[in-house]
Chains A and B, each alone.
Chain A
Amino acid sequence: DAGVTQSPTHLIKTRGQHVTLRCSPISGHKSVSWYQQVLGQGPQFIFQYYEKEERGRGNFPDRFSARQFPNYSSELNVNALLLGDSALYLCASSLFGQGAGGYTFGSGTRLTVV
């Protein structure tokens, strides 16, 4: 069974550009969450989607947005990139909105903003 798939694996962008990151959850999982992990820190919650609806939003500016598609895959969009957006972006999928079955993480997208 395929795990959580994220693309691309690495990305270099220039300040002011926008970026779209993609995530495919484990088959059958209906919830996707996004996390930002800056070097040396634990992951920080950005969004959770369940059944295509936003269920939670972390303390991130409006430049960050996301959506979930009918097949439960998800996109994270970041506009007007800043140097401080450089981080590992992790996607986690779970069966339901809560992690009764645990949260499974993808390998992440390493975003570098120059």
Chain B
Amino acid sequence: EDKVVQSPLSLVVHEGDTVTLNCSYEVTNFRSLLWYKQEKKAPTFLFMLTSSGIEKKSGRLSSILDKKELFSILNITATQTGDSAVYLCAVELGAGSYQLTFGKGTKLSVIP
């Protein structure tokens, strides 16, 4: 059974802290790994990772994939209260049915 596990499930930090969110996976037919931020309803796209060892960056956020050890991390530096959200990791499966298998998410709370 395809599985995506995120840790921690929740995290409380102070503004300015740096956080690392973890995502490990065990799936057949891996195609890509995606990170989303969900504040209220619609998950918003952050990164898509397909190759090992290549860091993707967007402002204070960055992510990297390790296809040998089957995990990814999402880093957020200099956190702000606006970073408070649930961060979802999803693995896209290939081979005809391009579905996303999600983890349970990490709820990040940034306090002033």
Contacts and interface: CB of A to CB of B under 8 A. Distances in A.
A44 interface: yes
Contact of A43 (B6, B32, B92, B100): B100
Given A43-B88, A106-B42, A108-B42, A98 B94 contact: yes
A56 B96 contact: yes
In the complex, which range does the number of interface residues on chain B fall in? 20 to 34
Contacts of B92: 98-99
Interface string A37-62: 00011111100100000011110000
B41 A56 contact: no
Q: SS class of chain B's interface: helix, strand, loop or mixed?
A: strand
Nearest to A42: B102
A68 B102 CA distance: 24
Interface in A10-47: 31, 33, 35, 40-45
A99 B48 contact: yes
Interface of A: 4, 31, 33, 35, 40-45, 48, 55-58, 88, 90, 92, 94, 97-99, 102-108, 110
Top 3 nearest A-B pairs by Cβ distance?
A: A56-B97, A42-B102, A98-B98
Interface of B: 4, 6, 31-32, 34, 36, 40-45, 48, 88, 90, 92, 94, 96-105
